[in-house]
Chains A and B, each alone.
Chain A
Amino acid sequence: MKPVVIQDMTIRFGGTTVLNDVSLSVASGECFGLVGESGSGKSTILRCASMLYKGWTGDVLIGGQSVRSMDPMERCRVLQMVFQDPYGSLHPRHSVRTVLAEPLRIHGIGEQEARMRQALIDVGLPVEFLDRYPHQLSGGQRQRVAIARALILEPDVLFLDEPTSALDVSVQAEILNLLQRLRDEKGFTYLMVSHDLAVIDHMCDRFAVMKTGDIVEVLPRDAILDGTAKAPYAQELIGASLTYEQAAM
């Protein structure tokens, strides 16, 4: 259980500023959502904070420690990420066993077999799946494997990059419930990107609305339904999403 604080994160790709002095803080054990249209920089925040992108300024503190000064190996054991597309985030030629054993091998952790089994049980997959390959799994099962991979190093903070947007609606609910159960059991801090306000409503305690690299407003979950958003863009986004959902019904 560690809090995450992002301070003045700025990144430019070429001439365009993708993130402009973004600051936010997530309490330990909280689920914090990031919403916004495509290209507003939601996923970029996660990729910068996990040091997948290097050329950014500002700082990210996890449990009071800067990710920059953290030892890379230690950082892996504090912070893990679940990616958007389970079809692209699992190596097509690695069996589930290889996928789960790699991080254990890299970090020299013993009792591999028991840990791999436990990780699969945690995400609700049968232990026999260890010898399957990604193409033998469905999308939801793949995402469960990806979550198991993130869990196996026992991190404190999980970054979720639209973990359900590539999945069917029914499977989405399963994965979201799984993520919620894991948070209750292990007390993860979640930082979750989504463009689906229903998902945010289901999962998050608070969320930030983003537009072109800026945080427009940070809102509690209730603001989705009671319309307490003050910023016009946030109102617009929530309104559009609500009318869309009514139309869908």
Chain B
Amino acid sequence: MGTTTEPMAEPAAPAPAKQPPGPPSTANQRRAQRGSAAGLFGNLALVLYFAFSLLPVLFIVLLSLKSNAQQTTTYLWFTPTLENYQTVLGLGDGGSSYVRFFLASLATSTGAVLVSLLIGIPAAYAAARYRFRGSEDLMFTLLSFRFAPELVVIIPLGVIYQQIGLYDTIFGMIWVLQLVTMPLVVWILRSFFQDLPAELEEAALLDGYTRRQAFLKIVLPLVRPGIAAVCLLAFIFAWNNFIFPFTLTSGDAQTVTVSSLAFLGGNQVRFNLVAAGAVMAVLPPLVLALCIQRYLVRGLSFGAVKG
């Protein structure tokens, strides 16, 4: 994308360099003209990028509507059919456990996010406000869960899970997904808490509120955009996770990401069924994003617009 955005800056740049600062009205006009020209190019670039990044999505949606015979074709004219969706949902004669996997996914992801929030919010607050021996080490350890590849721990985890009876349980999945969601929640929310002046809580204390009340009444409402943003991110990461359910579940707690594999095995590779499953699997994160959209923009751009 860099190549498409760079040229638009060039024609605008020489104008202010040559002109000494003039009367404010003309300067404003010039800025407005330059602003609208740059805005036009900017919007055009954004539209191009939007189209570019939506192409895979479009491809999957089209694929999910194709019949078995046409599933490997790439041209756009074909006879759309909802057959794939029926097959995936088990409405046809074949029967399917997609709905069960979908619900398991929903339960593990939601559970993982809730547990992470429940423990992560106080942890992030403590990490932001209190310095204690080893607090930075603790935070770094937490962060290292994010950049250490999951494959490193998967074999011992598999053995342990089998032994203590967490293998193929929703509870076990929620637990192991904390590796994914907890660092996200703690690290992102910590910076939100750090952005709030401690004097707000101190003022609440002197107003006569307890520390808990000061946190719940004053601090928490102010980081709501951050919680919304981190909720969505954590949910997406948990929902999309493949390697943990792949190795730690086999049936009861298996998630949609893993179950889609079943369509690729057997005597026939069914890309169209995978696509139909994927399109439906996109829905929960999408619905969540739409629900918290109000806070999301503020949450993701927090810090930049702090006045």
A binds B: no
Instruction: List residues of chain B with CB under 8 Å of any chain A CB.
Output: none
